[in-house]
Amino acid sequence: MGLIDKKRFRSTFEAFSEIGATDAGGLHRVALSEPDVRVRDRFVDALEDLDLAVRVDEVGNVFGRREGTDPDAAPVLIGSHLDSQPRGGRFDGQLGVLSALEAVRVLADHDVETRRPVEVVNWTNEEGTRFKPALMGSGAYTGAHDVETVLSTADDDGVTLAEALEAAGYRGDAPVGAERDPHAYLELHVEQGPVLEDRGLEIGIVEGILGMSWLDVTISGDSDHAGPSPTYTRADALVAAADVVTAVRRLAGRLDDDVVTTVGEFEVAPGSINVIPDTATFTVDLRSYDEETVQAGVEAVEREIEAACDREGTSYTMEEIWRIPHTEFSPEVCDVLERSADAAGCSYTRMIGGAGHDASYLADVTDAGLLFVPSVDGKTHNEREFTEWTDVLAGAELFAEATIRLADGEHPGNS
Ligand code: HGY
Ligand code: MN
Ligand code: MN
């Protein structure tokens, strides 16, 4: 018997997808932007419609709590994030929050009593694109990020997270962090890679996630006239930076099989057609499951920058703005997911994920698990991000089932 209300789930997903929708079917809902605030409001309304106790903490994480029968039992936390990348997809994060909302709606539909409280959560600024680093709300909740540092982090316009939260009405007064560690955490997310689709599987039971490093790099040269300046007099920041960008990409193949490297942001100044650039600033995102490989990768990037600057006569600064070790999820929760997948007759595999998720930090403080559904063409952080609705339903169904098990609830199918 299916647990979720398919019609309700679809209409909720479509309604939320209209908030910050782009013409190409994606989302433009960067953390604490106007559409992110509207979708937060919609989420709070849905929690209140379920008579959940809603609380917002100091960094804007939003929780809806459904009490269990045992007042002393630690809660099961379920959720993900509603913020998106600029021109991102409508499944990344949002699917996890709405699957969690649907799971609690299922409990209400069937009057399922759970021994443990269940809390649905929307984490602030998972994407880390406006305020760096990523996983900001979940990192503050678990202690990985310092709350004051998070609140004073500014975006490119100098607006701090605290100011953005105040303006949005989401700088809550609930203390950041759990009164006590949750019993378990569960998140459903699109895979954002090609594995499940290539293997024709419905579900990924995620055992771990790559570790990563984010670097901020500035290369400084000397501006001069594009005409009369002979090449040998030039200290062209862009030429040095361009050498580094291609070297960073080559590193991915050299360091280890799972290493991926990305230069996602790049700016040049003064940015005039007939002036030799004196400044190039860019970011590096480097990932691997092996900690030593990540460290070796950061050191290799710095060597490439040094060599490029020696060749061009430029100077540089490099700052590591984020490092998160690889994640290992709870074998117990993976087993619960596997039992649920078997019970539901889903095809699945255990796997390692390449994208960071809020579950990465929750795994530091509780038994955390992460469930994937396939991404068509593995495409994500892109308006073309898509998951077949049959796969979405299989994931949401499994998620609701596993939530009931983790919360010690009586499966409605047994009543
Ligand atoms: O960067 C990540 O992996 C995630 O999308 N924030
Ligand atoms: Mn995500
Ligand atoms: Mn993302």
pLDDT digits (tens, 9 = 90+) for 238-292: 999 999 999 999 999 899 999 999 999 999 999 999 999 999 999 999 999 999 9
Average pLDDT for residues 45-49, to the nearest whole number?
A: 98
Burial class of 344 by CB neighbour count within 10 A (0 to 12, 13 to 18, 19+): middle
Q: Is 385 in the pocket of ligand 1 (CB under 6 A)?
A: no
pLDDT over 90 (residue 94): yes
pTM (two decimals): 0.94
Amino acid at 362: L
CATH class of the domain whose range is 211-324: alpha beta
User: DSSP 3-state assignment of 78?
Assistant: strand
Cα–Cα distances (Å) from 217 to 237, 263, 315, 413, in that order, read 12, 10, 11, 56
> CA–CA separation, 210 vs 203, rounded Å?
19
Q: Is 134 in the pocket of ligand 1 (CB under 6 A)?
A: yes
Structure tokens at 374: 């396939």
Chain segment 116-146, per-residue pLDDT in tens:
999 999 999 999 999 999 999 999 999 999 9
pLDDT of amino acid 1? 59
Residue 332 CA to ligand 3 centre (angstroms): 26
Closest atom of ligand 1 to 135 CA is 6
Chain segment 206-227, per-residue pLDDT in tens:
999 999 999 999 999 999 999 9
Q: Which of 29, 84, 126 to mutate to test the pocket of ligand 1 (most atoms within 8 A of CB)?
A: 126
Q: Which of 150, 98, 105 is nearest to 3 (CA)?
A: 105
Closest atom of ligand 1 to 92 CA is 5
Architecture of domain 6-209+326-406: 3-Layer(aba) Sandwich (3.40)
Structure tokens at 191: 């895979």
Which sequence spans correspond to the domains of the chain?
6-209+326-406, 211-324
Question: Helices 161-168 and 34-49, interaxial angle, to 10°?
Answer: 50
Q: Is 356 in the pocket of ligand 1 (CB under 6 A)?
A: yes
Q: Which of 30, 192, 357, 372 to mutate to test the pocket of ligand 1 (most atoms within 8 A of CB)?
A: 357
